[in-house]
Amino acid sequence: MAEAPAVSVVIPTYRSGPGLDRAIASLDAQMLPQSELEVLLLDDGSPDDTAERIERIAAGRANYRAFGLEASGWPSRPRNVGVREARGRYVLFMDHDDELYPDALRAAVALGDAAGADVVNGKEVRTQVARWGLTHYTHDTGDARAEPLRGLLPMTPHKLYRRGFLLAHDIRFPEAPRHLWEDIFFQVDLIEHEPVVALLSSTPFYHWRHTGENSSTTSEGERDYRGTPDYWPYLEKLLRRITDVADPELRSALLAHTAQVRLVPEIGHRPTGRTDAEIARDRAEIARLVEEFVPVEVDPHLSARSRTALTLFRAGHAEAAADFLRDGIGRRPEFRVTTVEDAGDGGVAVSGTVTWSRVPGQPFARRTPSGEIVRDLPEPLAGLLAEHGLTPSADVSAAFVDVAIRHAPTRVNWLLPSTSQVELVEQEDGTLEPAGRFTATVDPRTAAMGSPLPPGAHLVLGMCELDGSTGIKRAFSDLRAGTRVGPLVLDYSAQDGLLLRVPDPPAPPARKGLLGRLRRA
């Protein structure tokens, strides 16, 4: 290529399966001209024919290059080699079984160039986790540094990075035969240098597929590494790296994020088959890491639920902290659509109810003899919470339901304009349980952040928030499939629940002229 391309896509490969063909097809389909795109395929010493396979792929495309590397055991070294060998203004790290949406690179480059951005954080979705990333991608901006963690959430490496910025600050992935959370270490190095981050939410960017081919899966197929022998050593290594961050506010935010995602949940985690000795060992690790890396100064950056659990844990009440985190674990939302009505002007109003399943023997709230409404928590948890001034409120006015739709073929989801109200409802036994109503508006012409929804089935999803816990559920309904409401058609499946189907656009009119006259004749 005579001129440097706009983007270099770096793809580490290792024993790549059919997902690689899917990834290449998504690159072939990019709206960004291929002359502005180069793809680097870097095989990490695969024991099968993957190296020969990427050579064949590259041989058929002028803008592809293939590299055969000695096995390093992890995708970090191929990515680092890719940064060194790349010629593009921007670098994108792509896993070998994921996909880019068709307009991903064109839209990201346009935003990055217009904003002078060092990073473009494009809308990313996960195949099997509908809520993942949903609340991070709500708007476009050329400078997201005022957003949580300066606009880099979620902290995956599937973003557009200005290559010159990475080189100038020597930002690389840590290399080792097995290095947990290498992408988080990379992002910590990056965020220290205060990059200008642009947020691209209106154009779907990256589809993170969950398959057995993922580049850094464990042998068990999991990517959170929970329960593996190196979980605690690498978590300590990550926390220790974060303590080197000079900016105190940024350091606290990074510590809080890491604690909330990878440390606090372990307090309440009780996997089946774990012995008492193993549970005690894990709690000792948690206590050591909390004492050294999560001081109370970090607490304001945590959610109220995590703050409460950590306060109990630091006070020596590990079992009570675990009970608190597991409180309501069986209280799951049920999200039902009761009406879908034509709202006029091309929109459709979707209304319904949300209830939470009752936990046997543990109501949500009750009235005291004096008539006060209080949370109904078991002892000794209730007493310990009261002792530390932490008793959760029975007030559910902050609970809510956000409504989203998710395009079934592509998995792209969009939040809808919605309103909701949750209140406590008295039960036959006199206890109180939360229940609510919601209404959302779907306008197929603008529901994708101002753009039209693509044709096909869209799942209706409710993101139901109660007492600091969020559950996202498919909508179920008694409405009749096949009913047309305004521009939409109702559909239903046992697996996906209620679907709103956007019809295919009408076919273009038949061409007139000699051919048309011959057909009519």
Determine the distance from the C-alpha atom of residue 31 to the mean position of all C-alpha atoms in its chain, rounded to a whole number.
25
Residue range 12-37: mean pLDDT, rounded: 97
The pLDDT of residue 355 is 96
Whole-angstrom Cα distance, residue 238 to residue 245? 12
pLDDT tens, residue by residue, 151-187? 999 999 999 999 999 999 999 999 999 999 999 999 9
The pLDDT of residue 165 is 98
Among candidates 9, 3, 171, 198, which has minimal Cα distance to 86?
9
The pLDDT of residue 224 is 66
**How would DSSP label each residue in 286-298?**
HHHHHHHH--GGG
Whole-angstrom Cα distance, residue 290 to residue 300? 15
- Given a cut of 60, whether residue 25 has pLDDT beyond it is yes
Provide the pLDDT confidence category of residue 512 given band limits of 50, 70 and 90.
Answer: low
pLDDT tens, residue by residue, 244-303? 999 999 999 999 999 999 999 999 887 767 788 888 899 999 999 999 999 999 999 999
Percent with pLDDT over 70 in the chain: 94
Say what the pTM is.
0.92
Among candidates 26, 25, 55, which has minimal Cα distance to 40?
55
pLDDT tens, residue by residue, 82-135? 999 999 999 999 999 999 999 999 999 999 999 999 999 999 999 988 888 888
Max CA distance (Å), the chain: 90
Q: Which two tokens stand for residue 60?
A: 């058929």
- Given a cut of 50, whether residue 363 has pLDDT beyond it is yes
- Given a cut of 60, whether residue 217 has pLDDT beyond it is no
The pLDDT of residue 518 is 47
The pLDDT of residue 506 is 77
The pLDDT of residue 207 is 97
Q: Which residues pair with 418 in a beta bridge?
A: 440
The pLDDT of residue 521 is 45
The pLDDT of residue 326 is 87
The pair phi, psi for residue 225, each rounded to 5°, is 65, 10
The pLDDT of residue 519 is 47
Residue with the bigger pLDDT between 469 and 207: it is: 207
Provide the pLDDT confidence category of residue 211 given band limits of 50, 70 and 90.
Answer: low
The arrangement of strands across the sheet holding 7-13 comes to 64-69, 37-44, 7-13, 90-93, 160-162, 119-126, 197-208, 99-100
The pLDDT of residue 2 is 57
Provide the pLDDT confidence category of residue 511 given band limits of 50, 70 and 90.
Answer: low
Provide the pLDDT confidence category of residue 517 given band limits of 50, 70 and 90.
Answer: very low
What is the average pLDDT score of the chain?
Answer: 92
CA distances, 218 to each of 18, 51, 98, 156, 239 (Å): 19, 22, 17, 17, 21
**Residue 226: CB partners within 8 Å, gap ≥ 6?**
266, 269
- Given a cut of 90, whether residue 221 has pLDDT beyond it is no
The pLDDT of residue 491 is 96
Residue range 487-500: mean pLDDT, rounded: 94
The pLDDT of residue 130 is 86
- Given a cut of 50, whether residue 216 has pLDDT beyond it is no
Q: Which two tokens stand for residue 244?
A: 């080197």
Q: Which two tokens stand for residue 472?
A: 């996202």
72 neighbors 175 (Cβ within 8 angstroms): yes
Residue range 376-389: mean pLDDT, rounded: 93
The pLDDT of residue 389 is 92
Residue with the bigger pLDDT between 329 and 415: it is: 415
Strand ranges (DSSP E) for 88-179? 90-93, 99-100, 119-126, 160-162
pLDDT tens, residue by residue, 59-74? 999 999 999 999 999 9
The pLDDT of residue 330 is 81
Helix (H, G, I), strand (E, B), or coil: what is residue 473? strand
Which contiguous run of DSSP H or E holds residue 59?
A: helix 50-59
CA distances, 256 to each of 135, 243, 259, 359 (Å): 18, 11, 5, 30
The pLDDT of residue 301 is 96
Residue range 299-318: mean pLDDT, rounded: 95
Percent with pLDDT over 90 in the chain: 83
- Given a cut of 50, whether residue 219 has pLDDT beyond it is no
- Given a cut of 60, whether residue 371 has pLDDT beyond it is yes
Among candidates 229, 230, 235, which has minimal Cα distance to 264?
235
For 45-51, which contacts have Cβ atoms below 8 Å and span 24 or more sequence positions? 45/14, 45/69, 45/70, 45/71, 45/72, 46/13, 46/14, 46/15, 46/16, 46/71, 47/15, 48/15, 50/13, 50/14, 50/15, 50/16, 50/20
